[in-house]
Amino acid sequence: MTALLRRSDSANPGMRQGHLDSVALFSTGWKKFGLLLGLAIYLLGPLMLSDFQLSVIDYAGIAAIGAIGLNVLTGYTGQISLGHGFFLGAGAFTAAYFGGNLDLPLPLWLAAAAVVGALIGLVIGPFALRLKGSYLAIITLGLVFLGQHIFENWKSVTGGLSGRAVTAPVKLGPVDFANLDIGGKEFSREGGYFYLIWAVVALVALLVKNLMRTRLGRAFQAVRDRDAAAEVIGVRLARTKVMSFVVSSSLAAVAGALYGSFQRFVNPEEFGLFLSIEFVAMIVIGGAATIYGPVLGALFITAVPFLIEEWSDRIPGVATEAGETGITVFALNQALFGLLIIGFLVLEPRGLAALWARIKVYFLAWPFSY
Amino acid sequence: MANSKVLLDVKDVSLSFGGLDALKNVSYQVTEGELFAVIGPNGAGKTSIFNCLNAVYKPQTGSAKLDGVELLDLRPADTAELGIARTFQNLALFTNLSVIDNLMLGRHHLLRSGPISGPLWWGKARREEEVQRRRCAEIADFLDLADHGSMPVGALPYGVQKRIEMGRALAMEPRLLLLDEPVAGMNQEETEETAHHILQIRRELGIATLLVEHQMDLVMDLADRVMVLDFGQVVAIGEPAEIQRNERVHQVYLGGAS
């Protein structure tokens, strides 16, 4: 091997300078600008937006955490799952139990949700090993119904059919996010949660980005692209797929925990099939196998129902009040998600992230169209 | 042959799928640093030989030892750790990843970061990435792949992808390299380039290589020894000149009274 080493000393300098440059987080000026912009929005958001707007963005942030999790499994590892809603539910009830019943502080109930999610992923993962594609989708679909059954019947933890209150404290040392007060400036509950939730979004995005540029994350992507070749070069398929399930479900559970805490009340019904489909929609619409794609998708999917609600009296055929004829806002949402998924899969399978990349290329090349 | 210590010792390997015998009592040895070619008509069992060494197929009988370690009891990922690397007849790259990430995956078994240290990045995982990426950049240079650094490899030309596969195999730091038709579908220029790289691997890295190839000129020019297979059976093993004179080999390729 020494000959090889010697040879490369005189080789192409372009590739040698900084071997980590190509995987740096904020490699270009635009990305650094984007980071600063994001930071500015983060700091100023709660000061400028209404409580209603903030609550939509808070829900979107929670969804983004879950979507980043599903993206690990589906976007990066290529394993389709319709069971994501179940993991969110598991996280929500874990938070309700550890934060409410046991009255543990924020970092502990959040960590407990992550651990419970990871453990369930560890148990479920092996069942998915021998199945791919639509077969895996069906198996995970079964998981949703199994989960519903457990959530509805394990009354001491979940409250059964009628659900339960989540009273988990959201204090970090002296900072109470439910009642945030910075230097005399008081924030609404929505404003306080905004800081908490989007900090977790940023942390999760960073951790997943790091994962994807190191050994395990690369193995995920190898399994997605060519599993037989991955095995022959030394990637252990079973272990790698199970790890992907573990990471994915753990993040879903964290999202679920924040969801329960923010909403203060959870109901087993919420964690059904429709929630799972919403998450699939988020990563399809946002752009699979990117970090910011699921975040865009989560913002989009969360905002759409509120926009429909806002404009429902102006959309013909939508019933806004009991007794009116027409489809309900909820049904319209469902139909719209279906259309959006189909539309994106047909027109831009790589989602909003790719649309953004195309717009960028267009303006970089402007005024030329090629 | 630089030295004649036996690296790979295959004895009486038989592999069948239902009633079809893919390999029948195949025995051969490959010594350290040797370039050992396997030829034969389509369906003779050449790729099956690779799939046995890789533990992708489980032969019914026989043994295959790499430096004394039995390969047939292992799982595919174990053979990678033992030092067996291969390329595929039809490309099997990770098409959405860059050249360097493909090579880095070749080094997967040499890396240590995991589900905790990876996401935390700063520290152990970062150092490891830096060291290993440097090594991959060297391998990319060695195979003249450096210009294609960050492109998804699926977008690169076929000949280059073939070379990346070879690079990924080299990145595994193998003791035995299995090349499955490395010049299939290449034009003259690409073939010569690849032949040059195969020679370089042998001369500068001294890695024992098992070469399956249809292009006879290439095989006869490069190989130290050649094994001829037909219908899963060994017809002859010998130096290229002997093989070219061998009557039975002529029959296999050209037909005739047997």
How many angstroms separate the CA atoms of A1 and B206, rounded?
Answer: 9
Residue B203 lies in a domain: no
Does the CB of A232 have a partner CB in chain B at under 8 Å?
yes
For tokens 């109901």, the residue is A267
Q: Give the model's pLDDT for residue A1.
A: 42
Least confident range of A138-147, A321-330, B171-180, B186-195: A321-330
Containing structural domain, residue B15: 1-78+208-258
Least confident range of A87-96, A345-354, B198-207: A345-354
Q: Could you give the number of structural domains in chain B?
A: 1
How many angstroms separate the CA atoms of B17 and A207, rounded?
Answer: 46
Does the CB of A224 have a partner CB in chain B at under 8 Å?
yes
3-state helix/strand/coil string of A38-53: HHHHHHHHHHHCCHHH
Q: Give the model's pLDDT for residue A11.
A: 40
Question: pLDDT tens digits, residue range B20-55?
Answer: 889 999 999 999 999 999 999 888 889 999 999 999
Q: Give the model's pLDDT for residue A155.
A: 87
* B108 with A5: Cβ contact below 8 A: no
As a whole number, the mean pLDDT across chain A is: 86
Question: pLDDT tens digits, residue range B88-122?
Answer: 988 899 999 999 999 999 999 999 888 888 888 88
Question: pLDDT tens digits, residue range A207-225?
Answer: 999 999 999 999 999 999 9
* A218 with B105: Cβ contact below 8 A: yes
Q: Which residues does chain B have within 8 Å of residue A222's beta carbon, measured at their own beta carbons?
A: 94, 97, 105, 108
Q: What angle do CA A327, A330, A334 make, to 5 degrees?
A: 95
CATH number for the domain including B35?
Answer: 3.40.50.300
Residue B103 lies in a domain: no
For an interface test with B, the pick among A214, A239, A291, A350 (most B C-beta atoms closer than 10 Å) comes out as A214
Q: Give the model's pLDDT for residue A154.
A: 92
Return the bridge partners of A165, or none. A265
What is the chain A residue with the closest CA to B138?
A8
pLDDT confidence bin for A13, thresholds 50/70/90: very low
Residue B9 lies in a domain: yes
pLDDT confidence bin for A165, thresholds 50/70/90: confident
Residue B39 lies in a domain: yes
Residue B227 lies in a domain: yes
Q: Which residues does chain A have within 8 Å of residue B173's beta carbon, measured at their own beta carbons?
A: 1
Least confident range of A110-114, A168-172, A359-363: A359-363
**Å between B247 CA and nearest CA of chain A:** 37
**Contacts of residue B67, Cβ cutoff 8 Å, sequence gap at least 6:** B7, B175
Question: pLDDT tens digits, residue range B155-214?
Answer: 898 889 999 999 999 999 999 999 999 998 888 999 999 999 999 998 899 999 999 998
As a whole number, mean pLDDT of residues A125-149 equals 86
* Whether pLDDT at A236 is above 80: yes
* Whether pLDDT at A3 is above 70: no
Q: Give the model's pLDDT for residue B1.
A: 44
Does the CB of A251 have a partner CB in chain B at under 8 Å?
no
How many helical (H) and strand (E) elements, i.e. helices and strands, does chain A have? 15, 8
Q: Is the peptide bond before A367 cis (omega within 30 degrees of 0)?
A: yes
pLDDT confidence bin for A5, thresholds 50/70/90: very low
Give Dmax (Cα) for chain A.
83
Which residue among B101, B130, B138 sits closest to A5, beta carbon to beta carbon? B138
pLDDT confidence bin for B3, thresholds 50/70/90: low
For chain A, what are the domain ranges? 48-365
**Å between A285 CA and nearest CA of chain B:** 19
Residue B37 lies in a domain: yes
Give Dmax (Cα) for chain B.
70
Which residue among B106, B118, B138 sits closest to A233, beta carbon to beta carbon? B106
Is ipTM over 0.85? yes
**Å between B165 CA and nearest CA of chain A:** 10
Q: Which residues does chain B have within 8 Å of residue A211's beta carbon, measured at their own beta carbons?
A: 115, 118-119
As a whole number, mean pLDDT of residues A152-157 equals 89
- Residue A302 host element (H or E): helix A292-311
* B138 with A229: Cβ contact below 8 A: no
Which residue among B56, B97, B147 sits closest to A221, beta carbon to beta carbon? B97
For an interface test with A, the pick among B113, B117, B141 (most A C-beta atoms closer than 10 Å) comes out as B141
Q: Give the model's pLDDT for residue A276.
A: 93
Residue B161 lies in a domain: no
* Whether pLDDT at A26 is above 90: no
Tokens of B245: 């004179």
For an interface test with A, the pick among B54, B116, B121 (most A C-beta atoms closer than 10 Å) comes out as B121
Task: Output the CATH code of domain A48-365.
Answer: 1.10.3470
